[in-house]
Amino acid sequence: MKWKGTKRAPKIATLTVLVTTLGIIWLQGFAGPIGAETRNDRSQKKEVKHNRLINESSPYLLQHATNPVDWYPWGEEAFAKAKKENKPVFLSIGYSTCHWCHVMEHESFADEEVAVLLNTYFVAVKVDREERPDIDQVYMAVTQTMTGRGGWPNNVFLTPDKKPFFAGSYFPKQTRRGLPGLMELLPKIAEIWQNDRENVQKSAEQITTLLASRGNPNPGDALDQSILDKARNQLADIYDPQYGGFGQAPKFPTPHIFAFLLRRYHNNQDAQALAMVEKTPNRIRVSVFSTIARPWAS
């Protein structure tokens, strides 16, 4: 378009600049100087703090490294602190692919209210069962003995000399469906520890003596081909040929089962054993791809 006259174009250009400038000033009245909001947001973001688990190599322990709980890894430092401060130990054992371990971490161990109770009245110790199966075996036997069942996360309350006096598996933050919540359980155990220490110590001694009296289980018979065949057939019975994996949902990857079946294939040329292994990761891959791709599907 060609302007008529010589002064109209400069006037319109000047007007455009003026309107733009006023618009910027008007917006700044609401948002502040350009870029200031971003800087303020950055300055107001909560600084991420790490506990001692940040120095560990275990993926499971690192998942808890930003919890407000003052976690200790298993070691003399934690138990020396418990003895010095005369506090019981809260031992929590889990592993990185454990569903209920993640649930408890999200709703309780990442929660400030729960953290205050744990940090005030207990010394909190976190253990990866895949890194320390020896510790897991001992305290899983404790939980099974005390409750009649076991599972992960495995949460055990100990005296400073590592003797158990109370145990359970998953605890929600608040009591529900018959499960005691940490917000009620932790203060109660702290109160008992302070006011009824003698009975707590006696209970811990009785549990320790009971477990010691059982001793180590007698070693089983040597593995022969019939036992390996039986294990393979039992896995085949619960194998899911449609979606892979073993048993019913929810399913979790089980590397030791895959390793057994691969060894079976290597030694016996068992084609079905290999097929059970191959099917599972392929179905996982397809499921993940389908989940990601679905929002863009027409």
Yes or no: say if 152 and 95 are a contact pair by the CB < 8 Å rule.
yes
CA distance 41 to 52: 28
pTM here? 0.61
User: pLDDT digit of tens for each residue in the chain (298 aa)?
Assistant: 444 444 444 544 444 444 444 444 433 444 444 444 454 554 455 678 899 999 998 999 999 999 999 999 999 999 999 999 999 999 999 999 899 999 999 999 999 999 999 999 999 999 999 999 889 999 999 999 888 888 899 999 999 999 999 999 999 999 988 889 999 999 999 999 999 999 999 999 999 998 888 765 444 556 688 888 998 999 999 888 888 888 876 666 677 788 889 999 999 899 999 988 888 777 676 555 455 555 544 4
For the record, the structure tokens of 16 come out as: 């455009």
Specify which residues 164 forms β-bridges with.
Answer: 158
Gap between the terminal Cα atoms of the chain: 43
Please enumerate in sequence order all residues whose Cβ is within 8 A of that of 85, keeping only pairs 6 or more positions apart, or say none.
123
Architecture field, domain 52-214 = 3-Layer(aba) Sandwich (3.40)
Query: For the chain, what are the domain ranges?
Result: 52-214, 225-296
Count of other CB atoms within 10 angstroms of residue 25: 9
Q: Which of 122, 58, 55, 117 is nearest to 93 (CA)?
A: 58
CA distance 12 to 149: 82
Residue in the block written with tokens 């158990």? 164
Q: What's the length of the chain?
A: 298
For the record, the structure tokens of 261 come out as: 């079946």
